[in-house]
Structure 1
Amino acid sequence: MISVVLLGAGNVATHLFKAFNKAIEVSVNQWYSRNLKPLESYKNLVNITDDLTKLQDADLYILAVSDDAVSDISSQLPFENRLVVHTSGSVSMYDIDKKHKRGVFYPLQTFSKDADVDFSQVPLCIEALNNKEDRPILKKLAKAIGSQPHKVNSDQRAALHVAAVFVNNFTNQIYRIAHEITESQGAEFDLLKPLIKETARKLDDLSPFMAQTGPAKRNDKKTLKKHIKALEDQHHKAIYELLTKSIQKTHGSLIRRVNNSNKNN
């Protein structure tokens, strides 16, 4: 049994608590938040507190807090030489106060409070300053909630976090732009959802490079010009042109072959 004290009341903390609470091999001894209101609905399931000086003993203390708060809260913890980890993709393990045994327990997923999370589909990136003693605890904790643990170093985790912004946050913004474009002409955005799902599904079998299609890759200049002309919003035009140039840079050799073939014909 792994005993845990959870610190933070945001989306990550909430979903971790729900997963830990269901896990046979995990006991959440306490849940801390400086504001107890978000935790009120859980007070019959776990001891809650807003006082760091009253934290209970546990095998592991998880800082599921904002990136900026990791250093400050870890320095305020009223003990030392215990395993303290954060859940951030971008914060260094060394931002945790050096009086603690330090580590990272980073679930590589997007979290919304009202959306259920299946942790069996969530990679958990783990890192520990003391690999021999502490990494096995993090590995066991990840497996206890059905997740697959992955040992990563700080540079790899930082790269994954930046990449996650591209595939999640930026992609969602592209969806929003597509929604605006369809709305402008009274078309149904829902008609694009099968395409969205198939685009993601293809990555099970193909690399992003091999899965790329479309007028930019084909260097279909007629269609590219038609799209630019059809876009009424200058912001949309700029993004379309930027992404077109990015695709053309990636697939430049193919585009050159197309251009040469057109010249020869």
Structure 2
Amino acid sequence: MIEVVLLGSGNVATHLFKAFSAAEGIHVKQVYNHSKNSLAYFQNKTEITTQISELFEADIYLMALKDDVIPTVAAQLQDKQGLIVHTSGSVALEALNGCKRKGVLYPLQTFSKENEVIYSEIPFCLEANTPEDLQLLKSLAEMISGKAYEINSQQRRKLHLSAVFVCNFVNHLYAVGEQICQKSEIPFDILKPLIAETARKVQNASPAKVQTGPAIRNDQSTIKGHLELLESNENKKIYELLTSAIQTFHGKKL
């Protein structure tokens, strides 16, 4: 049985708690957050605390916290015998340098508290300062997912950067598309099969190979017409920037 103390109560912490609680061989002994109100979800499910000094002994102390507080909280865990771990995609392992045992367990997925995810499909990116602790993290990850990868800090930062492009930026473009539809009283649902097909195609082919649209065709009349339709100067800038980026990437720039 791997005993875990979970630090944090946000989206990532909540989903990891659900995944760990459902898994055989993992026991979440305690959840910490500095605000008691933020611990309401966990209150009747496990032990909770708002004090670092009250943390139980555990095999792993897992910090699912904002990036900028990870070093500060880790510094308060230096006397712990367990493995000190964070879940960030952009914070290096070295941020935990004061800890005797340190590691990273980065779940590469987008999390919202209200949306369930299939935990067995989540890739977990792992790093530790000893082979033994890397194996411990691998054992933990494999209890909830079949996808565990050894990824170092530099690779993880690049992976996180890639994730921002393919998830966060793309989702903003969905929001822009939805806004355009709403202003013209068009159901956004009409676009959802297109969104799904675009995502499906890249499962089996390079995104560069399946690019379509007026930019790669250099369809200037369509591009001009779209720019005239856009009311927001910000959205015009996005359209022009992405059109230029696609054409440059594919050697279509005139």
TM range (shorter): over 0.9
Equivalent position of 1:118 in the other structure: 118
Equivalent position of 1:239 in the other structure: 238
AA matched with 2:36? L
1:152 aligns with 2:151: yes
| Count of residues paired in the alignment | 254
AA matched with 2:232? D
Greater C-alpha radius of gyration: 1
Three-state SS of the structure 2 residue aligned to 1:186 is: coil
On the 8 A contact 1:108/1:125 being kept in 2, the answer is yes
On the 8 A contact 1:53/1:78 being kept in 2, the answer is no
Equivalent position of 2:106 in the other structure: 106
Give the TM-score normalised by the residue count of structure 1: 0.92
On the 8 A contact 1:81/1:99 being kept in 2, the answer is no
AA matched with 2:22? K
Give the TM-score normalised by the residue count of structure 2: 0.95
Equivalence map 1:40-119=2 (5 Å): 40-77=40-77, 79-119=79-119
Post-superposition CA distance 1:167-187 (Å, at most 9, x none) = 111111111111121222222
Post-superposition CA distance 1:50-92 (Å, at most 9, x none) = 1211211111110111111111111112624531010000011
On the 8 A contact 2:78/2:99 being kept in 1, the answer is no
1:187 aligns with 2:189: no
1:175 aligns with 2:174: yes
Instruction: Give, in whole Å, the separation in 2 of the partners of 1:135 and 1:30.
Output: 22
AA matched with 1:68? D
Instruction: Give, in whole Å, the separation in 1 of the partners of 2:51 and 2:182.
Output: 49
Equivalent position of 1:39 in the other structure: 39
Equivalent position of 1:263 in the other structure: none
Instruction: Give, in whole Å, the separation in 2 of the partners of 1:185 and 1:28.
Output: 49
Post-superposition CA distance 1:199-242 (Å, at most 9, x none) = 00101111010010111101111211111122222211111110
On the 8 A contact 1:125/1:149 being kept in 2, the answer is yes
1:23 aligns with 2:12: no
Instruction: Give, in whole Å, the separation in 2 of the partners of 1:175 and 1:183.
Output: 12
On the 8 A contact 2:3/2:28 being kept in 1, the answer is yes
Instruction: Name the % identity.
Output: 47
Per the alignment, do residues 78 and 188 of structure 1 end up closer, same or farther by CA in structure 2, a change over 3 Å counting?
same
| Offset, 1:40 | 2.8
Instruction: Give, in whole Å, the separation in 2 of the partners of 1:119 and 1:41.
Output: 19
Three-state SS of the structure 1 residue aligned to 2:114 is: coil
Equivalent position of 1:135 in the other structure: 134
| Offset, 1:195 | 0.3
On the 8 A contact 2:57/2:82 being kept in 1, the answer is no
Instruction: Give, in whole Å, the separation in 2 of the partners of 1:244 and 1:41.
Output: 45
Name structure 1 gaps, 5 residues minimum: 260-265
Per the alignment, do residues 144 and 230 of structure 1 end up closer, same or farther by CA in structure 2, a change over 3 Å counting?
same
Instruction: Give, in whole Å, the separation in 1 of the partners of 2:172 and 2:228.
Output: 21
Name structure 2 gaps, 5 residues minimum: none
| Offset, 1:44 | 2.6
AA matched with 2:64? A
Instruction: Give, in whole Å, the separation in 1 of the partners of 2:228 and 2:93.
Output: 49
Which moves more between the two structures, 90-99 or 164-173?
A: 90-99
Instruction: Give, in whole Å, the separation in 1 of the partners of 2:37 and 2:100.
Output: 29
RMSD of Structure 2 on Structure 1 (CA): 1.5
AA matched with 2:191? L
Three-state SS of the structure 2 residue aligned to 1:135 is: helix
